[in-house]
């Protein structure tokens, strides 16, 4: 395929960003169109249309191979929906939001198509800085927003530096920066562990993993960043981390055992902590943001299994794990963007981020349906995509006994338990998000763009589960180009009358499962009785009042179960984890008289980490500020940018 198509997509995004300076609606519309084009392009490449390369004169090259195309497909599908959603969401934010939003998307696209390390890093840096400015547009106390944005930047730079270290190690071994495109051999020797570790940390920062996730979750969750920005950051920015990490992984050989152990442990702990804090979050966007940590933890767990299985040459297991990671990345990106769009909209119309606040605003029907599908998917309920991928992750973990050494078995089993626990806990978070966020908010009318984005995301989330075999096919195919020898046919099959390719096998002999047919079956279970009831005349719905233990319906909100109460059992049960402190103050001397004031707090380990690192980062900036530039953050930023560009240009010249 001619490189024109790729160039066209990039130019379309660029013009969208420029157009957005004048009309944000038009900008978003063009962004949506560009995303549609990007999605078609990547699908074309994935379905065998051949890669496309776009050599630029300055020594960098942009190329779209199948692996890139898979991630571009995921991202552009998300962007398409988010752009449409933004047309009506972003009507009262500063004008700078929409160009920055589109610029972020553009830079992410470049990351995916970068053929060499240098252009990758430049795009990476642009993405970080564009998102930084996007976060600065957030609402809330000026100081908080700034602090959050600054922290995002500080960690973004840390991430960049670590990635540079990783790339440098690879360069030292391979002697070339062209290692992101077609295969150019593998990094060996002492450089490999350095490259791995630096990449795990650097990309892990972007994926929001424990213990380095603050750069992601904080601004998304706590600075009241615009929700369309949150959606894009939480779903696709973390996806860039997955993409980058897998890319580096593909260049390393042979895998060492501790890589797998490390990935599994970090992933497992992230999943559990993310799920736990999601379930106790009372914040409209904090809750989905914590859930992002959980999901990226799961992805890392799957990659950890892949690392071990590949090392032990358990090829079927490695295939399943790898595809599970890629499929989960897809399902999470889509579900999370859907959820964020709805939660963002509701928090905007309700003028509160507090799940316990009195519900005032409404969301249009399609968005509510989307939220339902998204929480089901994120809570891993069949037949949605999240269920399929979590099933696969758990299945491969349950097969840890196949690992030949005890340490791997043990770690695999323990992480399996963590993941299973996380999956259970996150169900609470999701039912809470839906119940107290969406359900209580009620149904309302909405603009065509909002309704459209609702329908779009709804069909995406549901379609992804039903069409799982197709996605496997694409993912396996995409991965085979980069990570080597996987054959789609090894783990999908036909079984018990289900046609070929529709059953996933997680091992031989082990579990099997058909997402498509489960979906059809479940639909049948629902539809057939309904149809019978309707046709048979037994369909006589009767509305009765709610049941309040025989009492009258409570008249005020203070008499209803609230979101906080819903997750309090966790705060109390997992008091060791949350370090819960409950105190009840009674005014008045006698114990049994007077007013009661309740204060329940948990120690948020993430928040703790944030506070410590913020102190550290601010101290650092004060120090640097004293020498380099007195006081102003804007100039400091410009300084960082320049320094980065300078380093990159230097590398370019030397290496070029």
Partner 1 sequence: MWVLRGLRKGILTTGYPGKGLAPDEVPRSSFPPTPSADADWAKGGGLCPTGAIQGERVDAGRCVYCRRCKDAGFRFEGPAPGPMASERAALARRVLGRSLHVLVLDVGSCNGCNMEVLNLANPYYDFNRLGIFFTNTPKHADVLLAVGALNKAMVETLKRTYESMPEPKFVVAAGACAMSGGVFKDTDGFASPLGDAVPVDVEIPGCPPTPLQLLDGLLLIGGRRRAP
Partner 2 sequence: MIRRFVERGPARAEGPVQPSASFSAGGRHLSILTDTDRGRTILCEAQPEERPWQRAPPGSPLELEHGGQVGGYGTFSFQYGPVAYGVQEAGAFKLATYGERVVKAVPIVNYKKRGIEGRVAGMKPEDALLLLERSAGHFSASYSTCFCTAVEDALGLDVPSRVLWDRAVAVELERIYNHVHVFAREAEAASQNVAASQANALGERVLRLNAKYFGHRYLFGFGGVGTSSADLGTQGRRRELLAGARAVAGEFAGLMDGLLSSRIFLDRLQGTARLSKEDATRLGAVGPAARGSGVEADDRHVYPAEPYHDIFVSLETEREGDSLARLTVRAREVQSSAMVLQELLDRMPPSGGVGSRGDGGEDFAICRTEGPSGDLIMALGLDGQGRLAFLHVRPSSAANWIPFAISLEGSVFTDFQFAYESFGLSFADSDG
CA atoms lying within 13 Å on the CB side of residue 475: 26
Q: Which does 57 bind (CB under 5 to 8 A by kind): partner 2, partner 1, none?
A: none
For 375, residues 6+ apart whose C-beta sits below 8 A from its C-beta are 339, 430, 431, 433, 434
Positions in 481-520 near partner 1 (CB under 8 A): none
| Residue 402: both structure tokens together | 């196949």
* Residue 588 touches partner 2, criterion: CB under 8 A: yes
In the complex, least distance from residue 424 CB atom to partner 2, rounded to whole angstroms = 17
* Residue 282 touches partner 2, criterion: CB under 8 A: yes
C-alpha distance from residue 25 to each of 28, 81, 176, 449 (Å)? 5, 14, 43, 10
Question: What is the distance between the alpha carbons of residues 162 and 198, in angstroms, rounded to a whole number?
Answer: 5
C-alpha distance from residue 221 to each of 104, 203, 231 (Å)? 19, 20, 11
* Residue 401 touches partner 1, criterion: CB under 8 A: no
Question: What is the distance between the alpha carbons of residues 97 and 21, in angstroms, rounded to a whole number?
Answer: 9
CA atoms lying within 13 Å on the CB side of residue 244: 37
Q: Is 380 left (phi over 0), alpha (psi -120 to 50) or beta?
A: left
Q: Which does 356 bind (CB under 5 to 8 A by kind): partner 2, partner 1, none?
A: partner 2
In the complex, least distance from residue 538 CB atom to partner 1, rounded to whole angstroms = 11
Q: Which does 598 bind (CB under 5 to 8 A by kind): partner 1, partner 2, none?
A: partner 2
Nearest to 288 by CA among 433, 132, 101, 83: 433
Q: Are 386 and 475 in contact (CB under 8 A)?
A: no
Positions in 348-387 near partner 2 (CB under 8 A): 356
Among 561, 639, 646, 650, binds partner 2 (CB under 8 A): 561
Strand partners, 504: 492, 513
Question: What is the distance between the alpha carbons of residues 586 and 590, in angstroms, rounded to a whole number?
Answer: 8
C-alpha distance from residue 236 to each of 71, 240, 246 (Å)? 9, 6, 15
In the complex, least distance from residue 553 CB atom to partner 1, rounded to whole angstroms = 9
Q: How many residues bind partner 2 (CB under 8 A)?
A: 36
Omega prior to 509 cis, within 30 of 0:
yes
* Residue 584 touches partner 2, criterion: CB under 8 A: yes
* Residue 542 touches partner 1, criterion: CB under 8 A: yes
* Residue 545 touches partner 1, criterion: CB under 8 A: yes
Among 551, 589, 598, 654, binds partner 1 (CB under 8 A): 551
**Residue the block writes with tokens 């979590």:** 390
C-alpha distance from residue 233 to each of 204, 215, 259, 465 (Å)? 14, 11, 27, 23
Residue 539 φ then ψ, to 5° = -85, 90
Q: Are 1 and 52 in contact (CB under 8 A)?
A: yes
Q: Which is nearer to partner 2, 28 or 566 (CB)?
A: 566
In the complex, least distance from residue 359 CB atom to partner 2, rounded to whole angstroms = 14
In the complex, least distance from residue 581 CB atom to partner 2, rounded to whole angstroms = 12
* Residue 589 touches partner 1, criterion: CB under 8 A: no
In the complex, least distance from residue 559 CB atom to partner 1, rounded to whole angstroms = 16
| Residue 466: both structure tokens together | 């039903």
* Residue 594 touches partner 2, criterion: CB under 8 A: yes
C-alpha distance from residue 591 to each of 309, 596, 598 (Å)? 61, 10, 14
Q: How many residues bind partner 1 (CB under 8 A)?
A: 7
Q: Which is nearer to partner 1, 553 or 615 (CB)?
A: 553
For 609, residues 6+ apart whose C-beta sits below 8 A from its C-beta are 211, 214
Question: What is the distance between the alpha carbons of residues 266 and 281, in angstroms, rounded to a whole number?
Answer: 22
* Residue 427 touches partner 2, criterion: CB under 8 A: no
* Residue 554 touches partner 2, criterion: CB under 8 A: yes
| Residue 585: both structure tokens together | 């103050």
Q: Which does 544 bind (CB under 5 to 8 A by kind): partner 2, partner 1, none?
A: partner 1
Q: Which does 584 bind (CB under 5 to 8 A by kind): partner 2, partner 1, none?
A: partner 2
In the complex, least distance from residue 139 CB atom to partner 2, rounded to whole angstroms = 21
Q: Are 303 and 263 in contact (CB under 8 A)?
A: yes
Nearest to 119 by CA among 62, 182, 202, 175: 62
Among 401, 547, 596, 627, binds partner 1 (CB under 8 A): 547
Among 535, 544, 545, 551, binds partner 2 (CB under 8 A): 551
- Stretch binding partner 2 (CB under 8 A), from 27-35, 251-259, 465-473, 596-604: 596-604
* Residue 575 touches partner 2, criterion: CB under 8 A: no
- Stretch binding partner 1 (CB under 8 A), from 57-65, 97-105, 290-298, 541-549: 541-549
Q: Which is nearer to partner 2, 406 or 587 (CB)?
A: 587
Q: Which does 542 bind (CB under 5 to 8 A by kind): partner 1, partner 2, none?
A: partner 1
In the complex, least distance from residue 586 CB atom to partner 2, rounded to whole angstroms = 8
Virtual CA dihedral for 234, 341, 71, 155, nearest 10 degrees?
-20
Q: Which is nearer to partner 1, 401 or 547 (CB)?
A: 547
- Stretch binding partner 2 (CB under 8 A), from 193-201, 214-222, 399-407, 578-586: 578-586
In the complex, least distance from residue 552 CB atom to partner 1, rounded to whole angstroms = 7
In the complex, least distance from residue 466 CB atom to partner 2, rounded to whole angstroms = 37
Looking at residue 583, what DSSP letter applies?
E
Q: Which is nearer to partner 1, 547 or 596 (CB)?
A: 547
Question: What is the distance between the alpha carbons of residues 289 and 340, in angstroms, rounded to a whole number?
Answer: 9
Question: What is the distance between the alpha carbons of residues 278 and 433, in angstroms, rounded to a whole number?
Answer: 9
- Stretch binding partner 1 (CB under 8 A), from 154-162, 228-236, 542-550, 577-585: 542-550
* Residue 552 touches partner 1, criterion: CB under 8 A: yes
Positions in 609-648 near partner 1 (CB under 8 A): none
- How many other CB atoms are there within 10 angstroms of residue 114's CB atom? 23
* Residue 529 touches partner 2, criterion: CB under 8 A: no
Q: Which is nearer to partner 1, 552 or 592 (CB)?
A: 552
Question: What is the distance between the alpha carbons of residues 214 and 80, in angstroms, rounded to a whole number?
Answer: 27
Q: Which does 538 bind (CB under 5 to 8 A by kind): partner 1, partner 2, none?
A: none
Quick one: which H or E segment has residue 159? helix 142-174
Question: By the criterion CB under 8 A, which residues form the site for partner 2?
Answer: 282, 356, 548-551, 554, 557-562, 564-569, 571-572, 582, 584, 586-588, 591-600
Q: Which residues contact partner 1 by CB under 8 A?
A: 542, 544-545, 547, 550-552
């Amino acid at each position: 395929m001619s490189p024109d198509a790729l160039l066209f997509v990039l130019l379309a995004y660029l013009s969208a960003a420029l157009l957005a300076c004048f009309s944000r609606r038009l900008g978003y519309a063009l962004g949506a169109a560009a995303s549609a084009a990007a999605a078609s392009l990547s699908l074309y490449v994935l379905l065998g249309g051949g890669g496309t390369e776009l050599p630029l004169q300055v020594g960098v090259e942009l190329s779209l191979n199948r692996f890139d195309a898979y991630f571009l497909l995921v991202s552009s599908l998300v962007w398409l929906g988010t752009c449409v959603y933004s047309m009506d969401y972003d009507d009262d934010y500063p004008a700078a939001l929409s160009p920055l939003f589109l610029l972020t998307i553009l830079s992410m696209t470049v990351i995916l198509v970068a053929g060499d390390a240098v252009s990758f890093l430049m795009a990476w840096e642009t993405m970080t800085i564009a998102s930084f400015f996007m976060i600065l547009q957030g609402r809330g106390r000026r100081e908080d927003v700034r602090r959050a944005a600054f922290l995002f930047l500080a960690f973004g730079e840390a991430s960049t530096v670590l990635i540079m270290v990783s790339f440098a190690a690879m360069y030292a071994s391979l002697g070339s920066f062209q290692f992101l495109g077609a295969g150019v051999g593998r990094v060996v020797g002492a450089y490999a562990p350095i490259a791995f570790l630096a990449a795990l940390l650097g990309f892990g920062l972007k994926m929001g993993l424990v213990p380095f996730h603050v750069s992601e979750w904080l601004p998304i969750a706590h600075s009241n960043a615009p929700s369309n920005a949150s959606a894009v950051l939480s779903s696709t920015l973390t996806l860039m981390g997955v993409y980058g990490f897998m890319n580096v992984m593909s260049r390393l050989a042979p895998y060492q055992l501790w890589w797998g152990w490390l990935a599994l442990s970090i992933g497992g702990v992230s999943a559990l902590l993310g799920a736990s804090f999601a379930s106790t979050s009372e914040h409209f966007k904090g809750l989905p943001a914590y859930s992002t940590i959980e999901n990226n933890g799961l992805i890392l767990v799957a990659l950890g299994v892949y690392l071990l299985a590949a090392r032990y040459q358990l090829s079927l297991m490695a295939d399943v794990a790898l595809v599970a990671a890629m499929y989960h990345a897809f399902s999470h990106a889509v579900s999370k963007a859907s959820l964020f769009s709805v939660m963002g909209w509701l928090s905007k119309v309700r003028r509160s981020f507090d799940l316990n606040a009195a519900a005032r605003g409404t969301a249009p029907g399609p968005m509510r349906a989307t939220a339902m599908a998204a929480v089901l998917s994120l809570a891993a309920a069949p037949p949605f995509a999240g269920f399929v991928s979590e099933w696969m992750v758990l299945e491969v973990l349950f097969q840890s006994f196949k690992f030949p050494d005890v340490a791997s078995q043990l770690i695999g089993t323990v992480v399996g338990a963590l993941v299973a626990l996380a999956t259970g806990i996150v169900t609470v978070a999701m039912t809470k998000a839906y119940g107290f966020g969406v359900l209580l908010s009620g149904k309302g009318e909405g603009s065509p763009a909002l309704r459209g984005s609702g329908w779009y995301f709804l069909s995406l989330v549901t379609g992804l589960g039903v069409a799982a075999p197709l996605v496997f096919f694409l993912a396996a195919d995409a991965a085979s180009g980069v990570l080597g020898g996987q054959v789609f046919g090894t783990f999908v099959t036909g079984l018990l009358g289900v046609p070929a390719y529709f059953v996933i096998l997680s091992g031989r002999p082990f579990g099997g499962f058909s997402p498509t047919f489960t979906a059809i079956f479940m639909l049948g279970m629902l539809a057939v009785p309904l149809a019978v009831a309707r046709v048979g005349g037994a369909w006589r719905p009767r509305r009765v009042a709610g049941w309040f233990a025989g009492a009258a319906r409570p008249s005020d909100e203070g008499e209803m179960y609230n979101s906080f109460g819903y997750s309090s059992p966790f705060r109390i049960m997992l008091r060791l984890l949350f370090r819960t402190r409950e105190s009840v103050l009674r005014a008045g001397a006698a114990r049994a008289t007077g007013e009661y004031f309740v204060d329940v707090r948990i120690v948020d380990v993430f928040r703790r980490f944030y506070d410590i690192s913020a102190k550290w980062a601010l101290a650092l900036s004060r120090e640097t500020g004293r020498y380099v530039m007195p006081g102003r953050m804007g100039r400091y930023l410009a300084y960082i940018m320049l320094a980065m560009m300078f380093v990159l240009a230097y590398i370019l010249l030397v290496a070029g």
